[in-house]
Amino acid sequence: MLSWIAKLLLTSTAIAPVLVTYAWVAYRAGDTRKTTILFSIFIALILICLAMLNYARKNLERTSFTATTAEAADRENMGFLLLYLLPLFTSQFDALNWEIWVPAILTFGAVVATGYSYHFNPLLGLLGWHFYKVGTSEGITYVLITKKQLRKATTMVQVGQLTEYLVIDVGEH
């Protein structure tokens, strides 16, 4: 189990598109240095997260997992969409109040990374990953990350456990 590392990487990747928005604002303000730095961090976060998911799929202990219930967990994207677009409401990069933005983003990330509320990453969704809330016969709900589209809840999958309540499909795709 990767636990806090997986949470940190998935959370940072989920909020990484904010960096693209900031990069756009910096670009429009003519600050190519900040644009390059922000966009480079964005790309690095994506690559690191994808590497972690690949590592998990290849190296985590495999367990057979059969869900009794399943529902899509990627419907709650409005909060992320607002977080992604808020920087665009300022016309200049220097007008951003960094004393408020940085702590707000760090707080958002910390709350998601340290709690059990994480269950969606819209950026990974764009890259073909699906997130499902799956229930077990013991009454425990997990979030399953997979490249497959679940057609019925009782399909058995091989999983690796990323965190206490987050599992990744490690079977063949």
Whether residue 79 has pLDDT greater than 70 = no
Whether residue 17 has pLDDT greater than 90 = no
Kindly report the length of the chain. 173
Say which residues have a Cβ less than 8 Å from residue 43's Cβ, sequence separation at least 6: none
Mean pLDDT along residues 125-130: 84
Mean pLDDT along residues 21-32: 86
Its pTM stands at: 0.74
Taking alpha carbons only, the member of 168, 144, 2, 120 closest to residue 67 is: 144
CB-count exposure of residue 27 (10 Å: 0-12, 13-18, 19+) = middle
Higher pLDDT, 101 or 92: 101
**Beta sheet of 156-163, edge-to-edge order:** 63-66, 156-163, 166-169, 141-146, 130-135, 69-72
According to the model, what pLDDT value does residue 44 have?
92
Taking alpha carbons only, the member of 171, 87, 79, 62 closest to residue 118 is: 79
According to the model, what pLDDT value does residue 77 have?
58
